């Protein structure tokens, strides 16, 4: 990929990564127009078939995972796969393959790092209250009670065990394209 389109893709990925890390969402206002621009670029440079094939081949497994386990992979990641699949396919089959394999590996590495630095808390077993006595846990304010599910302390209120995958998709794609130049 030429330097100017690679720079544009990098800027798009930077905006997507910032949104995904901050709001844990990939907005349609960024994913869909970006995918259209990447596909249009594929048509403009005379390689529409690789762009369309790369988009379809990356989007299909992401869509299947999303449909099977919506909590494991968001719809924004599926839409992002359209643009990034097309972009990396324009770099050739090895570039597409490297990016497609590296993205889940980067997310897995981030998950492992998160677990090692901030292991999930298990709820403490509660002793039954003695007859005639109220449970001390019941007298504490609700915010101070131990959660009933695994939770990361810094992510209270979010789904436990979820991790943004969009940044890994973006990093893997940009690095694959830059290395394939």
List the one residue out of 68, 102, 101, 61 whose CA is nearest residue 82.
61
What pLDDT, in 10s, does the model give residues 72-102? Answer: 899 999 999 999 999 999 999 999 999 999 9
Question: Are 79 and 32 in contact, with CB atoms under 8 Å apart?
Answer: yes
Pick the more confident residue, 152 or 30. 30
Helix pair angle (75-90, 166-179), 10° resolution: 0
Question: Are 25 and 76 in contact, with CB atoms under 8 Å apart?
Answer: yes
Enclosing H/E stretch for 81 = helix 75-90
CA within 13 Å, CB half, 13: 24
Pick the more confident residue, 128 or 165. 165
pLDDT at 154 > cutoff 90: no
Report the alpha-carbon distance of residue 85 to residue 159 in Å, rounded.
28
What does pTM read for this prediction? 0.77
Q: Where is average pLDDT lowest: 12-16, 125-129, 152-156, 159-163? A: 152-156
């Amino acid at each position: 990929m030429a330097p100017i389109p690679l720079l544009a893709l990098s800027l798009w990925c930077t905006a997507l990564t910032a949104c995904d890390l901050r709001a844990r969402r990939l907005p349609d206002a960024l994913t869909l127009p970006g995918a259209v621009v990447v596909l249009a670029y594929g048509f403009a440079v005379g390689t529409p078939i690789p762009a369309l094939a790369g988009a379809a081949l990356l989007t299909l497994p992401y869509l299947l995972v999303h449909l099977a386990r919506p909590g494991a992979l968001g719809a924004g990641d599926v839409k992002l796969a359209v643009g990034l699949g097309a972009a990396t396919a324009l770099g050739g089959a090895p570039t597409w393959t490297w990016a497609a394999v590296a993205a889940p590996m980067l997310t897995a590495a981030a998950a492992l790092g998160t677990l090692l630095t901030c292991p999930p808390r298990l709820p403490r077993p509660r002793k039954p209250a003695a007859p005639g006595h109220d449970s001390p846990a019941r007298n504490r304010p609700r915010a101070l009670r131990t959660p009933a599910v695994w939770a990361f302390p810094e992510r209270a209120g979010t789904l436990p065990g979820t991790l943004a995958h969009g940044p890994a998709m973006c990093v893997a794609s940009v690095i694959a394209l830059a290395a394939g130049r």
